[in-house]
């Protein structure tokens, strides 16, 4: 594996079934994000936030109330597990969106590597003025698998950090991708995959999505001795 990803058990299979049922019970609140049947539940900074725009914060206030009401115990569990893993206090960032869900429903298109190849830079879209010296170099992203395709799901990971390609000419970046081929890290139901988010990665192609793929997605930034979770 080019970059180390940490797998942390969080939920039992039965608990995942309970969460999946709750997510489907809120189907009227799903937002379609593509022509393919890819949806989100919650407010996603990488999709809904623009610098200087208040809409994200208004949306987050509404979806946070909804998610907390229906799945508050899950958010308590996630914070508890991450605090133990990080050996530091963990809380949810005020005004920012709670971690939310990606939902992929059956479609042959998802078997192709169509997801974006990226680093997690969504924090650049948010207003951190209420935080004292947030350490953007000390970041965390996680995916908690609730339901997975029959053919499995996971993450494609390149041994390429954002800093390596930030000011590199396009031709050199392409050459780097040719030399450093990606590795595949599989998800497992009930496990959280944790990484920095600052190396190049991509949602892996998914075969045979029956009945669907549901994951909880979130990020965190360290401020002082405390980690603040958001989406």
Kindly report, residue by residue over 68-114, the tens digit of the pLDDT: 999 999 999 999 999 999 999 999 999 999 999 999 998 988 988 87
Res. 2: pLDDT tops 60: no
Strand 226-230 versus strand 90-92 pairing type: parallel
pLDDT of residue 3: 56
Question: Percentage of residues in the chain with pLDDT exceeding 90?
Answer: 78
Between CA 96 and CA 41, with CA 215 as vertex, the angle to 5 degrees is 50
The average pLDDT across 149-153 equals 90
Contact 135, 222 (CB under 8 A): yes
The domain segmentation of the chain, as residue ranges, is: 6-230
Alpha carbon distance 214, 231 (integer Å)? 16
Res. 4: pLDDT tops 80: no
11-51 pLDDT, tens digit each = 999 999 999 999 999 999 999 999 999 999 999 999 999 87
pLDDT of residue 209: 86
pLDDT of residue 1: 37
CA distances from 30 to 27, 39, 110, 126 (A): 5, 6, 19, 22
pLDDT of residue 168: 83
The answer to whether the peptide bond before residue 119 is cis (omega within 30 degrees of 0) is: no
In sequence order, the 6+-apart residues with CB closer than 8 A to the CB of 153 are 145, 186, 187, 203, 204, 206, 213, 215
> 6-230 falls under which CATH superfamily?
q2cbj1_9rhob like domain (2.60.120.620)
Give rounded-to-5 percent helix, strand, coil for the chain: 30, 30, 35
């Amino acid at each position: 594996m080019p970059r180390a990803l940490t797998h942390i058990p969080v939920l039992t299979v039965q608990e995942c079934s309970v969460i999946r049922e709750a997510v489907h019970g809120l189907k009227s609140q799903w937002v379609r994000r593509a022509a393919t049947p890819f949806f989100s539940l919650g407010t996603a900074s990488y999709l809904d936030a623009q610098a200087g725009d208040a809409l994200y914060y208004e949306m987050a206030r509404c979806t946070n109330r909804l998610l907390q009401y229906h799945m508050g115990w899950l958010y308590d569990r996630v914070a508890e597990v991450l605090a133990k893993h990080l050996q530091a206090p963990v809380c949810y960032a005020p005004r920012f969106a709670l971690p939310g869900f990606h939902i992929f429903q059956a479609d042959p298109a998802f078997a192709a590597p169509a997801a974006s190849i990226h680093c997690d830079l969504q924090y650049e879209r948010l207003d951190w003025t209420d935080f004292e010296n947030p350490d953007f170099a000390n970041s965390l992203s996680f995916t908690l698998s609730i339901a997975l395709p029959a053919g499995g799901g996971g993450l494609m990971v390149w041994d390429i950090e954002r800093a390596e390609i930030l000011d590199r000419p396009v031709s050199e970046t392409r050459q780097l991708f040719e030399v450093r081929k990606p590795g595949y890290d599989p998800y497992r139901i009930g496990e959280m995959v944790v990484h920095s988010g600052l190396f190049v990665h991509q949602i892996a192609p998914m075969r045979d999505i029956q009945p669907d793929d549901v994951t909880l997605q979130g990020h965190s930034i360290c401020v002082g001795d405390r980690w603040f979770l958001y989406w």
